[in-house]
Chain A
């Protein structure tokens, strides 16, 4: 009997602790959300209202109407989507090779690709800046897409690989016996089976490119071509006390990503953990 009560007590303690823990961790995001929706007159009220008594769309309207945020959003969407697509196109064959093809030096090339993930961007930034300047890639989408894509490539390859090696190899063998060649076996049998994994990989690659700041700071000098992270990083210097605008801009640019991540959380968790651990 005593054991039963102890168990119940343990569950209650766990529940209370878990709730407190989650509340603390969720608070910064809640605060951002509330700040974005505050009435401008309440923004600098001290102490701030933890639960605002009135809400307003003023700041949301302001970032689009006055701060040209729509254009930055579009820049980020274009750069991140193209980076993600190209990264999948170059990454898919490589992932297949390092998980299914027995070629000489496979272990070396796998590590070569993985190690690019650990590269400090700063160590390649100057030569890239000089090369891109002579090629006329400064202030172009291509100048951002190329490095972002290469940056996300290692993670893309390792995540895809993790999904690929989970498939039983017999499936592929059976397809080969049935007269498929390797390419058609990949397209008809493997690809449909790892489609959720490919989707998760795409989101992870997209977020990787979406978060990128340093390349934009170095390769973009025109205001109209700024990406979302760059535009938000610049806001404090350009406006005084821009917290309402910053919060509104942040919510607009993160909420869609958060929703997608939460919907596909199972696959994304599988992908994120697989990228770091050899399966």
Chain B
């Protein structure tokens, strides 16, 4: 397996389109083992929720990649963190309220725990080492709206992680795949759970390893995730996934935050908190 390619932040989306990947060889790269290696991702939360449907979509897409790499992903419904551990999960996706999350993360400090529901800012500023958040925080949403109102005073928009009418960056294809499979429209929690599974599987594929501690380190330091919102996404030190938010008014996407011309350099860290509480 070749080393992970270095990625960098390019100055604009259209310029990145033009940048080139050079593959030194076509014939000699090894293909992984013929017998698939099973990678388990635990899911704690309601089995009939949007997050569960999003996680299942993530698993389906992970396997679409994994079949070429000798990796088979499974979503393991787990009653609690003990069950997730017993199932030898590589990571845990949690659809639960904020109150439940610190104890779940503390019970398995070696396991990446990915929060796909709770938006509480306090969960971020606690900076728990193995707790990640793919759902945007409340502060991210309010900062996005504040930026938008500077440009569009009086707008009644809401700031969302995702919307079922998203088209750009193959958003329409993701929406179609998800609604065909689940019969649902992709909402924020479905997107957050899809993203949680997909960024774990992307990292497993690039590491060619699913052992939790290595995965945890790579998620913290080396993530460059394509969440189909047009930019590479990575985790802040406080565990929050950096991401653009969509501004939605009357059921239509009217803008995106960071708001161009308002947020300096469209910096993703202009949304929400980046610091840890002392």
The answer to whether A and B come from one shared complex is no
Q: Which residues of B contact A (CB under 8 A)?
A: none
Q: Which residues of A contact B (CB under 8 A)?
A: none
